[in-house]
Structure 1
Amino acid sequence: MKQKEQIEKKTHLALEGSVNDEKSKYFFFDTKPDTKEKLAVVFGGYEECAPDFEIQRRTYPYYVLEIPTKGECFFEIDTQDYKLKKGTIGAFAPGTPHHYRCNKDDPMEHIFLAFTGTYASKLFETAGLGNGKVVQVTNFSRIDFLTEVILEKGLEEMELSSRLCSLYLEAVILEQTLSLSPSENNHTLSLEKYRKCKKYIDGKFSEIISPMDVAEACSVNIRYMSRLFKRYSNITPQEYIMRLKLNKAASILLTTNLTIREVGYEVGFEDPYHFSRNFKKFHGSSPLHFKNTHIGG
């Protein structure tokens, strides 16, 4: 049985369109991943499309990312017409009508990724992809490299392949976010405010007592700042600050002879008990046990 037919049976979703079966290759993971997964690649692959390659759907259950490596495809997404070719990426969200049709004189070769997850919608929004579109990217070489890595890891079918593919996919979409120009990004003002708050936290997290300190320093309403962090990083400001504090605390524990109390002070904890309790919750062990486990005691 051909590889394409095997995947159709296991995914219950036909990989439609005429392609070169000898050169095209596919991988698949769980077609119904845990609905609480932040991001989960379901399947993907590389296709060398035939001149008559064409797909038309009214809907699809997954988010899809298209990365052309050669040739051209006419791509209609929700009645909007685009050209999909190297230097662009295409994408559409579940429920979005779409129509692929290859340029017969220059058929497309592409890597495609189908995925789902609780974070997928926010990633699409942040990257300016909405419910679907084709966008020009300025850092295509990095995106091209990362998608090649995803394809390689997916085809390996190793124990951690699914997890690695999902992490690399997030990097691909975030790279697209970085390539947005102000005129292309409908959320420029909110994104700038988020970046301003995040930069302030990154530089001063050891001194920050609460998110209110950040909001006041950056002249942002605390509730609005919380919404920005949930929108662009899927985490609250408090969680982000605490993560930085406790990661730095772990580094200090492993590289200095400071006492547990002194380490807590270094990252902004006045109360040693409060520091130890949060450290154990985050790292899974008390500061002392953590240090003894990693460097002996």
Structure 2
Amino acid sequence: MEIKDVVFVYRLSSPELLAWHSRHHSHDSDEYELHFFLGGEGRFERDRDRFVLSQGRLFFSPPGERHAIRPEAESTPVSYYALLFTPASEDPLRGILDDDLFRQAFPRDGGARQRLLFEDCKNGFAHPHPARRQAAAHLLQAFLWELAAEISPGDKPAPWSRQRRISRDRPEDYNVHISRAIRLFEQHLRERISMEAVADSLDISREHLTRLFTQHLGVSPLQYYRRLRMDVATSLLLDTTLSIKEIAWELGYQNPFHFSRSFRRYAQMSPRTYRQQYYRQNPTGYDTRMVKPPEGSRSRGFGDLPGKGDDPPRQR
């Protein structure tokens, strides 16, 4: 298993980003892609089908399948992960991924656990150490096998609702308190909020809030909040030309050195190294979506931009 590229797009809004991410495109014969959406209004187009985006929705695109993301409201921009990967030629997982039954089981609905998994894959992919990158690939492989276990070859496609939840997120993982707490975290990325304030807003104790997050997500609410802020920082590093100082200010850090220390604890490298490391690899020419790519990065054309020649999609 090889992860070819991972990006996290936070609040897709700039014209350059919209042009890149809204294009209809497909991937090579051995490249598969997952999209995991955190929020925003829009649709995902797959060949001639289209699907409404919602929080936690997961899409799978096999090789050769044309797909595109179509944001629809400037007031509610789309945020999501995109993960491009190639299984080894001898990996039995490849046969499952190529099965129509697997494709027809998407989209599927996940939750906070899946966000953490995509975040870990993103950080592992960006790390310069080969062992970290391999660990991320194994995380992805395990996740795909779990999905495959839910869609056995003996099952028929019909009983599988497109609204079906991923089994790793048990029903209790959708506890209303966790959902509301995460919403508060997302609303306070620039202006910090204490865990006491979150618990008070939910009318529960901080101890109960901590117990819920630890039991269902494996991290404390403070850890989740910090990881979410740093995850947004990685998007700003790759999706904008903001300086490190400007990104620190965007996330409410008055001292950029404090931001850099927090980021280093999160990603095991400095913000500057993270940005340089990604664009040094630049596996898919992703830098072409920016007005001014970082110095030394490779540039490739936008390719198949949306518009001319697109077939009218079918609504689902």
TM-score, normalising length: structure 2: 0.40
**Higher strand content, 1 or 2:** 1
Structure of higher RCO (CA pairs closer than 8 Å, 6+ residues apart): 2
Structure number with larger C-alpha Rg: 1
